[in-house]
Amino acid sequence: QVHLVESGGGSVQAGGSLKLSCAASGPADSRQYIAWFRQAPGKEREGVAVIYTVEWNTQYAHSVQGRFTIDQNGAKNTVYLYMNNLLPEDTAMYYCAAGQDRRSWFLQDRWYNYWGQGTQVTVSS
């Protein structure tokens, strides 16, 4: 059983930065892909970034490309989301998710089996 715990959310002004952390435990095979999703009130959940932990490959949604960076520590048990030049439209609950299906690469939530409890990010203009 994979367990995910997010931390690092908060409030920031537009143009600011935040770092989110996702502490992951459980079988490594079940969390080969770890991604960040976000959901704003009244909107669908959106995949933001994914890392293939085995080979350190990363992919991003167009909306955050060039502003967000996903990374992991050497032990591969913590995944980070570095968020720079934040915009008010980045305001959402951010969730960490883990999956093992290779279709997880495409940032569709259906392929992710494990989810954290979420951490709120609020960006004011």
pLDDT at 60: 97
Write out the two tokens for 55.
């080979």
Give residue 85's pLDDT: 98
Measured CA to CA, the distance from residue 70 to residue 48 in angstroms comes to: 9
Q: Which two tokens stand for residue 9?
A: 């959310």
Cβ-in-10-Å burial (0-12, 13-18, 19+) of 65 comes to: exposed
* Per-residue pLDDT reduced to its tens digit, 42-76: 999 999 999 999 999 999 999 999 999 999 999 98
Give the residue carrying structure tokens 């203009």. Answer: 125
pLDDT < 50: residue spans in the chain: none
Inter-residue contact 19 to 8 (CB < 8 Å): yes
The answer to whether the CB of 13 falls within 8 A of the CB of 123 is yes
Strands of 8-88, DSSP E: 10-13, 18-25, 33-39, 46-52, 57-60, 68-72, 78-83
C-alpha angle 9/77/3, rounded to 5°?
A: 70
> What whole-number distance in Å separates Cα of residue 120 and Cα of residue 125?
16
Q: Residue 7's pLDDT is what?
A: 96
The pLDDT value given to residue 13: 98
